[in-house]
Structure 1
Amino acid sequence: MKNQNLSVVLAGGGTAGHISPLLAIARAIRAGAPEAEILAVGTAAGMETRLVPAAGFDLATIERVPMPRRPSLDLLKLPLRLAAAVRQAGRILDEAGADVVVGVGGYVSTPIYLAARRRGVPLVVHEANARPGLANRIGARLTSHVGTAFRNTPLPNARWVGMPMRREIARLDRPAAREEARARLGFEPGRPALVVTGGSSGAASINRTIASALPALAAAGIQVLHITGRGKVQLDGSGAPLAAPGYRQVEYVDGMEDVYAAADVLLARAGAATVCEVAAVGVPAVLVPLPHGNGEQALNAASLVEAHAAVLVADRDFTPEWAVRELVPLLQDSGRLAAMEAAARSLGIRDADERMAAMVFEAAGYRTGNGGAGSGGTGNSSAGKDTDEIR
């Protein structure tokens, strides 16, 4: 088994939903194999151009491959574009001397998967969503090493490993971190705390509902930290920033571990990372899936909802009236919140990064410093466009 100079190429990008697990896997690989050479592959237009170098990893880029949703000139160009991207991917693998390729889906994964297959380079796939994307549906047919964040994701050879996440979140002890996190986020002690977020780009429908429901929330003594998204500051009728007793709005929070520690309830979209982190840390949640797309966010949330660890509300139903009728009583019911917290933690997986690293070492035939190829983890399972990209 190989035990020196392991070269790992990780492919994925475009959104934080792909980049965050990629980086978590990369860190776990480096922890298990400090001498490993690690290269990430993304596109020149994705968030990876900022996030990957900031995390201390090298980045190579290839072209996006548009996947038209309807007959068009772009559809005719698809074979040539894909072939060009596969050639680019192949050059990257050759220059890196890749021993193993890891893909998390996204714009670049299909060309990397196909280039790896042509070269006989072992392939490892991680799928973050309950409904897999096209790239990983292709990749999963090219390997027996497939990890999924959700138990019932329909991919061949799938192993349920959980969602690789930052260790500051995976190892969070909510009760121990609660008071300091609340102080950092501006919450007062002894009052219910609601944190609202629509992700880094915000969610206009959620923002509107919270702004309209704010008088009722304030009257009930509920504190609100409203993470609006960049450039989405909420204004009142006079054009001034929205204000109310116990209400604070910010565009962004650097470090969601404080949010998870401080919140009595998290109100958010049902992205795969959010759902898995909610389970790992055990925070009660109200989840409002995106109203468009392929319905994957509702599927992501299904296990939490079935276990009564989270409340699901459709975007069209998330109105100020719903917030007054359902959200206010929830925040005032400590018994129900405690039950939701316990139920969430029963579904959470905290060591998915280590499980994926072990799968990478297994695929590469790499012997770790402890004499094995990795055991798969021992952590807590308290557990409208005309074109798209192949993802």
Structure 2
Amino acid sequence: MHKNANHISSRSGSAAGNSSRILIAAGGTGGHVYPAIAIADALDRECEDAQILFVGTKNHMEWEAVPRAGHDITSIWISGFHRRLTVKNLLFPVKLATSLVQSLRIISSFKPDVVISCGGYAAGPVGWVAARKGIPLVIQEQNSFPGVTNRLLGKHASLIFTAFRDAGGFFPQDKIILAGNPTRKSLTSVDTDQAYEAFGLTPDIPTLLILGGSGGARSINEAMAKHLPTLHDEMQLQIIWQCGERYYDRLREDIHPENYDHLLLTDFLHDMPEAYAVADLVISRAGALSCSELALTGKPSILVPSPNVAGDHQTKNAKSMVSEGAAELIADDQLEETLAGLVGRLITDRQQLKKMQKAALKLARPEASETIATGILELIQKKKHP
């Protein structure tokens, strides 16, 4: 088990027999992991004696992100099934069987009152075993087009929390609660002056924030590399650019960031609240979590939906933001051609940015985490006191 020492010591005397024991399965990307952490944080606030354990994989971001947030995590051996024939697919049946045995051991040992699936590879085996053992299963679905894992688990769930109305068509209607996506409270509790100081930036110069998701986005990186001289030198913007670990070394070789005084190139941003606080405009993929965070922080954005996601759900997410006036949309294959022009038009129009900020804030659901936590705790109480 991967543990946070402070978290464990603070809970050392609270494992009472009537405490709520909650198992959360999520992993793979920030879109699954950070909503799960937000739910766990809300459960901690709502129930002081809650015992929370995450299940994920050791080779994805949850293995570091969850302990950093103050929660415990254990692992199972599982990965996704590739649509094309690969050597990795030959191992999939072995991994699946192993992960089911591991999930059974974890559940038998931890004895959860409820299991929460936030999607990702790890959620499938854990959720399936929970259903077979008669343990209440709760699903939190972030996207308008649900992922495979949550779609398969839906028929076994006691409660299903969705963020988009469109997702309701994939689940039993009597189990659905439209709650929005849970987001981190820390995103809106930032001292802006300290945030500028942390990044070494000034509020006197417009700041552009580039987010390609936790894994980075090749098309956004390529477009940024092409237009960097225009954005940095000609438009004189401050730029925070999260490019993803897999692209970082190559980009450093290609663009020589040391030649740009107001550029911060990083593989991953751990201080996201501060990054949002200083940003005047954000370029981002249109994953559900990204859209929810942009709404919560009221940040005007240029959304670039990934063309490589199930059901084209990122385009649907982006269009919902655009229709409310909170964002502009650029298709992935048009990015290199149109990026600099759109950034230049928006970031110099303070009035338009204010309109987009107000529109984004209207879309926010800051109470989503509490709504979900309350529903989960009520479900536990019904189980304990039928």
Q: TM-score range by the shorter chain?
A: 0.7 to 0.9
Unaligned segments of structure 2, at least 5 residues:
1-15
Q: How does 1:1-391 map to 2 (within 5 A)?
A: 4-64=18-78, 66-67=80-81, 69=83, 82-153=96-167, 154-156=169-171, 157-169=175-187, 171-172=188-189, 177-217=191-231, 218-230=233-245, 232=248, 234-235=251-252, 240-241=256-257, 243-244=259-260, 246-294=262-310, 295-319=312-336, 321-365=337-381
Q: How many residues align?
A: 362
Q: Is the 8 A contact 1:149 1:276 kept in 2?
A: no
Q: Equivalents in 2 of 1:235, 1:109: separation in Å? A: 36
Deviation at 1:24, TM superposition (A): 1.5
More contact order relative to length (CA 8 Å, sep ≥ 6): 1
Q: What SS is found at the alignment partner of 1:359?
A: helix
Aligned CA distance change for structure 1 residues 205 and 65 (closer, same or farther; 3 Å): closer
> How many angstroms does 1:152 deviate by?
2.3
Could you say which residue in structure 1 is the equivalent of 2:4? none
Structure 1 Cα separation of the partners of residues 258 and 213 of structure 2:
19
Distance 1:340 1:86, change over 3 A: same
SS in 2 for 1:9: strand
Native 8 Å contact 1:195 1:224 kept in 2: yes
Cα distance in 1 for partners of 2:112, 2:19 equals 10
1:291 to partner: Cα distance: 3.0
Structure 2 CA distance for partners of 1:73 and 1:281, relative to 1, 3 Å: closer
Counterpart of 2:241, as a letter, is H
Shift of 1:116: 1.3
Amino acid of the residue matched to residue 354 of structure 1?
E
- Larger helix percent: 2
Query: CA–CA distance in 2 between the matches of 1:275 and 1:363?
Result: 29
Matched residue SS, 2:366? coil
Letter in 2 for 1:258: E
Which contiguous aligned blocks of 4+ residues in structure 1 show a shift greater than 6 angstroms? 71-80
70 and 228 in structure 1: CA distance in 2 versus 1, 3 angstrom threshold = closer
1:373 aligns to what?
A: none
How does the TM-score come out when normalised to structure 2?
A: 0.84
Which amino acid letter does the alignment assign opposite residue 190 of structure 1? D
Distance 1:138 1:243, change over 3 A: same
Change (3 A) 1:246 1:95: closer
1:199 CA drift (Å)? 3.2
Partner Cα separation in structure 1 for residue 101 and residue 234 of structure 2: 61
Seen in structure 2, the aligned counterparts of structure 1 residues 3 and 25 have a Cα distance that, compared at 3 Å, is: farther
Task: Give the TM-score normalised by structure 1.
Answer: 0.83
Residue identity matched to 1:162: G
Residue 227 and residue 81 in structure 1: after superposition, are their counterparts in 2 closer, same or farther (change >3 A)?
closer
* Residue 383 (structure 1) aligns with: none
Name the stretch that deviates more: 109-118 or 80-89.
80-89
Deviation at 1:100, TM superposition (A): 0.8
Q: Percent identity?
A: 33
1-side partners of 2:131 and 2:178: how far apart? 24
CA offsets, 1:254-273, max 9 Å, x none?
31111211111011122221
Distance 2:87 2:239 in 1: 49
Deviations 1:68-99 (A, max 9, x none): 53689988987776455333322211211111
Aligned to 1:221, the other structure's residue is in SS state coil
Q: CA RMSD in A?
A: 2.9
Kindly provide the amino acid, as one letter, of the partner of residue 316 in structure 1: D
CA distances 1:241-290 after superposition (whole Å, capped 9, x unpaired): 36346444344433111121111101112222111100111100011122
Segments of 5+ residues of structure 1 without an aligned counterpart are 368-391
**Contact 2:162–2:178 (CA under 8 A) maintained in structure 1:** yes
The 3 A distance-change label for structure 1 pair 305 and 88 is: same
The one-letter amino acid paired with 1:211 is A
Cα distance in 1 for residues equivalent to 2:54 and 2:253: 44
Cα contact 2:248–2:266 (8 A) shared by 1: no
1:129 deviates by 1.7
